[in-house]
Structure 1
Amino acid sequence: MQLKTVLAQATDVNLTDSKIKLPFTLQEVKAAIPPHCFEPSLWRSLSYFFLDIGIIAGLYAIAYNLDSWFFFPLFWLMQGTMFWALFVVGHDCGHGSFSKSKWVNNLIGHLCHIPILVPYHGWRISHRTHHANTGNIDTDESWYPVSESKYNNMSWPEKIGRFYIVLLAYPFYLFKRSPNREGSHFMPESPLFRPNEKWDVLTSSALWMLMVGCLGWLTYQFGWVFLVKYYLVPYIIFVIWLDLVTFLHHTEPDIPWYRGDDWYFLKGALSSIDRDYGFINSIHHDIGTHVAHHIFLNMPHYHLKTATEAIKPILGKYYRQSSEPIWKSFINSYLNCHFVSDAGSPVYYQSDWKKPS
């Protein structure tokens, strides 16, 4: 059943009415979860980090020794997927759910993210903004909808970048944030950051540039073909994974978006959906188990499944899960999610292709 219908039935009010309240509180949801789910285990977290690093190193060793163009397509797919898995470990670090130690989180976060050209602190802070404002049209940071008037005034290059090459958007987003948002993930003067975060941002930016320099040196020593074979193509696969998964977390025609005082944290956090990636679930550390993660962002990824089963009875019809094939979900959202109405709350995605002529 679509969430629009659920909201109408559960509240017995018109969906255009503002300030619809959920029939449960954040405290009630948290109380349903076993307390151990909120406790990170440093050794367990490190095991995922070293497992990913080991697999990545092993794949490089096999590819280098075989040096076969018959093997490289498989290597690119596997290595790009492992880059994405490593990003997810760094994602736990950014939320403070990798360990209880801030310096450990920052160290491992940089070791995960810098090799795949993600400025750890810049990303961590913008991702914090996303989690604090999920489902809020005006203040969300990641894959939020644009209004119809904004959409109509966007240039074609901007529309192409935002709506038609969505699986390659992330590197550009690092330098130029999404529509209506200014700033870069590399500059401490960006509106993303607080003044006291200056040195965090500069540290990650400097390490990012050092990684770019290392790639440049490798290219100088071994040539462009070497860079393409061993880094560039896996990096592109990683970017596709990152954009695909983050896009599908919050982009679907019946996910509600809120404005003004109609929004509050728990209500916005439920503007997400759990998705099944099949055998990839365990490889990318169950990142598709996303609803519980948005409610309790400091929960380690390896406890999310347990937490999800615990909160399902509380959330009831407000819990959203899709077992639809990922490719089908992506096509559906790609074709039907372009903009939302200029006014009202909640609002839902509409398609430019279905606008009356």
Structure 2
Amino acid sequence: MTTSIIKSQEILVSTDLDKDQIKLKHIIKSLPKECFQKNSRKAWTTVVLSLAMAALGYYFLAISPWFLLPLAWIFTGTALTGFFVIGHDCGHRSFAKRRWVNDLVGHFSMMFLIYPFHTWRIKHNHHHKHTNKLDEDNAWHPIRPETFENWDKTKQSAFELFMRKRLWWVGSIGHWALVHFDARKFEKKDQASVKLSVAVVLIFAAIVFPSLIITTGVWGFIKFWFIPWMVYHFWMSTFTIVHHTTADVPFGSAEKWNEAMAQLFGTIHCDYPRWVEILCHDINVHVPHHISTSIPSYNLRLAYASIKENWASYLHDECKFSWDLMKKITNECQLYQTDIGYITFDKYYAQK
């Protein structure tokens, strides 16, 4: 392999390093400086795009006959996912240079989804610090057999049903409900911010939900908010599980965890239909985001092209979103044996 000379930073980056020698700083230094540059025009264009597409989606919902509603729901819910990605950039302070702008836009974009901005920001940053680390990663993470055995029968049955019946698409709803509304689950220094974010979404819901029901009825609430919100969670759950889950992606215990390889090989690039990628601001181009959270969403493709050029041999194979992909993940990645890898429920029961 060749050595890439990064003249602007006057460093040498060897792509012939042993994987245990690779540090995140090596990868970050190999990226063009342009990847980290914030562009106000591009950032606010994502806001305008999401607002326009959501408005178009709701117009589509308002005029559609019943047989076109599924298409309208899918489009509108996907457009709403774009608001989450904008909040995602704000949470990583990569949307704007000023923190107050990030906080303001983050709260605005995520309140439509009833997602408390600061609670998500704090928890999500923990995921980045501990990606694919057993017992630490708080995003989608595998369940170990010993953990499964300590659950009561009801919880075991629910988890097994969740995986066998391919209910991954509701996974983020449970995470949203259980993790993001209780300030007591956060450090004292963060509790004021958490309470503020929870208050923002509760006030929004207290105003919008009754107004929607009064003007359009219960069916209007379901039609205009609940089902698009469920579509958003379909994408939220799907992106989250696909980003880091396949049978050959390891989750390491703390003493064996390699930060750089967790981000390079443990983060998977998946191609989705182009219209989904546009509405969701390229969140699927996820490897560079795990190399550095300071890369704005509109620079992810530039960064990924550089990573593929310099670090291709360390990357996981790319995949394409499909029902077969989701079947493969849910069929194979059910329980996780430390230092061995994923096993199925059937193999787990056969071993007992």
TM-score normalised by the chain length of structure 1 = 0.86
Query: 1:128 and 2:121 equivalent?
Result: no
Give 1:324 deviation, angstroms: 3.7
- Equivalence for 1:188: 183
- Equivalence for 1:235: 229
Residue type of the partner of 1:187?
A: D
- Equivalence for 2:13: none
Residue type of the partner of 2:331?
A: L
Residue type of the partner of 1:308?
A: Y
| 1:214-269 per-position Cα deviation (integer Å, ceiling 9, x unaligned) | 21332144310111111111111111111011111111100011112211422322
User: Is the 8 Å Cα contact of residues 24 and 314 (structure 1) preserved in structure 2?
Assistant: no
| 1:54-93 per-position Cα deviation (integer Å, ceiling 9, x unaligned) | 11112223432x2521332221111011111221111111
User: Is the 8 Å Cα contact of residues 293 and 304 (structure 1) preserved in structure 2?
Assistant: yes
Q: 2:141 aligns with which of 139, 144, 147?
A: 144
- The 5 A counterparts of 1:243-322 are 243-270=237-264, 271-279=266-274, 280-322=276-318
| 1:166-214 per-position Cα deviation (integer Å, ceiling 9, x unaligned) | 21122221232xxxxxxx3112210xx2211111101110111112212
- Equivalence for 1:175: 177
RMSD between aligned residues: 2.0
State how far apart, in whole Å, the 1-side matches of 2:152 and 2:320 are: 33
- Equivalence for 2:51: 53
Moved over 6 A (4+): none
State how far apart, in whole Å, the 1-side matches of 2:93 and 2:227 are: 30
Q: Give the 3-state SS of the residue equivalent to 1:135 in structure 2.
A: coil
User: Is the 8 Å Cα contact of residues 275 and 321 (structure 1) preserved in structure 2?
Assistant: no
- Equivalence for 1:3: none
State how far apart, in whole Å, the 2-side matches of 1:222 and 1:324 are: 39
User: Is the 8 Å Cα contact of residues 57 and 79 (structure 2) preserved in structure 1?
Assistant: no
- Equivalence for 2:25: 27
Q: 1:216 aligns with which of 187, 210, 224?
A: 210
Give 1:334 deviation, angstroms: 0.6
Give 1:117 deviation, angstroms: 1.3
Q: 1:123 to 1:46 in 2, by over 3 A?
A: same
State how far apart, in whole Å, the 2-side matches of 1:261 and 1:153 are: 24
Query: 1:226 and 2:220 equivalent?
Result: yes
* Structure 2: tracts of 5 or more residues without a match: 1-15
Q: 1:216 to 1:172 in 2, by over 3 A?
A: farther
Aligned length: 327
Q: Give the 3-state SS of the residue equivalent to 1:223 in structure 2.
A: helix
- Equivalence for 2:11: none
Query: 1:331 and 2:327 equivalent?
Result: yes
Residue type of the partner of 1:269?
A: Q
State how far apart, in whole Å, the 1-side matches of 2:317 and 2:82 are: 22
* Structure 1: tracts of 5 or more residues without a match: 1-9, 12-19, 177-183
Q: 2:72 aligns with which of 55, 75, 94?
A: 75
State how far apart, in whole Å, the 1-side matches of 2:299 and 2:226 are: 33
- Equivalence for 2:10: none
Q: Give the 3-state SS of the residue equivalent to 1:242 in structure 2.
A: helix
User: Is the 8 Å Cα contact of residues 40 and 97 (structure 1) preserved in structure 2?
Assistant: yes
Query: 1:205 and 2:202 equivalent?
Result: no
Residue type of the partner of 2:231?
A: I
State how far apart, in whole Å, the 2-side matches of 1:325 and 1:236 are: 19
Q: 1:307 to 1:251 in 2, by over 3 A?
A: same
Identity rate, percent: 27
Q: 1:351 aligns with which of 337, 344, 347?
A: 344
- Equivalence for 1:43: 41
Structure 1 window deviating more from structure 2 (235-244 vs 312-321): it is 312-321
Give 1:156 deviation, angstroms: 4.9
